[in-house]
Chain A
Amino acid sequence: MGTQHVVTMLPGEGTGPEICEAVRLVIDASGVNIKWEYEDIGLDCLDKYGTLLPDKTIQNIAKNKVALKGPTTTPIGTGHKSANVTLRKVFDLYANVRPAKLIPVLKRPWDKIDIINFRENTEDSYAAIEHMVSDEVAQCLKVITWPGSYRIADFAFKWAKANGRKKIFCVHKANIMKMTDGLFLDAFREVAKKYPDIESGDIIVDNCCMQLVRNPAQFDCLVLPNLYGDILTDLCAGLVGGLGFAPGANVGDGCAIFEAVHGSAPKYAGMKKVNPSAVLISGIMMLRWLKEEAAAARIEKAMFAVLDERKHVTYDVGGTAKTDEYAQAIVDKMHAKA
């Protein structure tokens, strides 16, 4: 066994625990040496701790600096603060990396999609600055800063350079929001000067949406402010097969949390019915972040093979396998002799 990594496991709620157990089964079978430390997060924490994100969980993530997270539910409207957004804020996980890549076995109308979205994760209208400024007017401040914009752009260019990507576009609405989106775009252009080997450009967000559904193959990497990023990353997930296959990484300078971006599907909780692929692919991203490329590639190859055979796949991709049966099939495939 190689270097031992200590990783915080956040199973979340609803179907989260059964998904995370399936994912742990696969990751542990890949040959990587991980000590998992389980911590609570999400709606189930409310009765026990009075918060969606207990301090104990925060302290554990601060110690380990890496976590794998299952789905959680954010209450709509008034009430408790989102555990997801709180995690991003507390640990300053400013880069939300959301790859959207076609999985060969999933039939889609396109031949090629391989986009990496870099969503700024801490600013914009997610700064939690909202007021009822009169009894008939609500206001939310959209906060865009030069350091925050420069940082996400630089992160994206560095990632692109390290991973052989060729082209980055900044997505914005600077024709209308000239101060906020204008600042974001200016910072992107400033950073782009440092990376002359990578083609850069910009595109207005509404046009980007249209172009994505008409011809997604034209895009390589996108850098987006928080709100556009939230929306377009799900659009991209839809292009490649839905949220069931959409991984995500929230990365800061000192910590990274890998998570599925789908909800916790409480109506399926305990039925072992849902597809764990999104958390599993997030786990593969985590392994690569931990420099465990061999284990990551082993899982990825086995997962694609199981999907391709379609014998042990979950209901959403036309099968009848339970969550853990799908995971076990991936484990068996990894252990099968070539």
Chain B
Amino acid sequence: MPTFTETAKATKKKREIKLVGVDMYIITEKGIPKFDDIGAFKCEFISNRGTKVWPGFVSPDLLQVNWYRCRFMATKDVQDADVNTFLDALTKKGWWWSAAQKLWTYDGEPGFSKAY
């Protein structure tokens, strides 16, 4: 007899997973970061406390902390090794980061939220 976990997992739909980008959590006291393209990754947006601060309108009253989520999307098909190269390049450029989260699509649907 299958365990409950096995039963639950059996209901899971098989989905095609594809690496499409990386969310980088950057710590800086110098305000909104600016990035050139880094390898196969291009910065799509930057948010602070969940609010998009680049590109587009930013309220002058917006409270910002020293921790930015920077979304980098792949400009071509990428593998995990490309992320390693990207992280190394980002560090060499002097960016201090607290975490990285790979972004995957599942059957083509994003497995990640947008910023407000």
Which of B34-42, B54-62, B74-82, B88-96 faces chain A? B54-62
Contact A145 B12, beta carbon cutoff 8 Å: no
A94 interfacial by beta-carbon distance below 8 Å: yes
A132 on interface, CB distance cutoff 8 Å:
yes
A90 and B9 contact, CB distance less than 8 A: no
With beta carbons under 8 angstroms apart, the residue of A131, A136, A255 that contacts B61 is A255
Least distance between A94 CB and chain B CB atoms (Å): 7
- Which residues of A have CB within 8 Å of B62? 92
Q: Given the interface contacts A135-B12, A143-B50, A151-B63, does A90 sit within 8 Å of B111 by beta carbon?
A: no
Q: Is the CB of B51 within 8 A of A89?
A: yes
B59 touches A92 (CB 8 A): yes
What chain A residues lie within 8 Å of B115 (beta carbons)? 128
Contact with B along A119-154 (1 / 0, CB 8 A): 000110011111111011000000101111001000
How many residues of chain B have a CB within 8 Å of chain A?
30
Size bracket, chain A contacts:
20 to 34
Does A122 lie within 8 Å of B59, measured CB to CB?
Answer: no
By CB atoms of chain B within 10 A, which of A132, A133, A145, A148 has the most? A132
Chain A residues near B52: list those with CB within 8 A.
89
CA distance A66 to B42 in the complex (A): 37
- The reply to whether A90 and B112 contact each other, CB–CB distance below 8 Å, is no
A89 to B59, CA, bound (A): 9
Shortest distance between the CB of A27 and any CB in chain B (Å): 26
Which residue on B lies nearest to A124, using beta carbons?
Answer: B50
| Contact across chains for A132 and B49 when beta carbons are under 8 A apart | no
A272 adjacent to chain B (CB < 8 Å): no
B112 surroundings in chain A (CB, below 8 A): 130-132
Judge whether B59 and A127 touch: CB under 8 Å: no
> Which residues of A sit under 8 angstroms from B84, Cβ to Cβ?
none
CA distance A145 to B67 in the complex (A): 10
Residue pair A129, B113 in contact (C-beta under 8 Å): yes
Q: Which of B50, B65, B112, B115 has the most CB of A within 10 A?
A: B50
Residues of chain B within 8 A of A199, CB atoms compared: none
Q: What residues of A have a CB within 8 angstroms of the CB of B114 in the complex?
A: 81, 128
Candidate in B17, B23, B49, B112 with the most chain A CB atoms within 10 angstroms: B49
Counting from the closest, the 4 A-B pairs by CB-CB distance are A127-B50, A132-B111, A89-B116, A130-B113
Residues of B in contact with A (beta carbons under 8 Å apart): 9, 12, 15, 17, 23, 47, 49-52, 57, 59-63, 65, 67, 69, 101, 103-104, 106, 109, 111-116
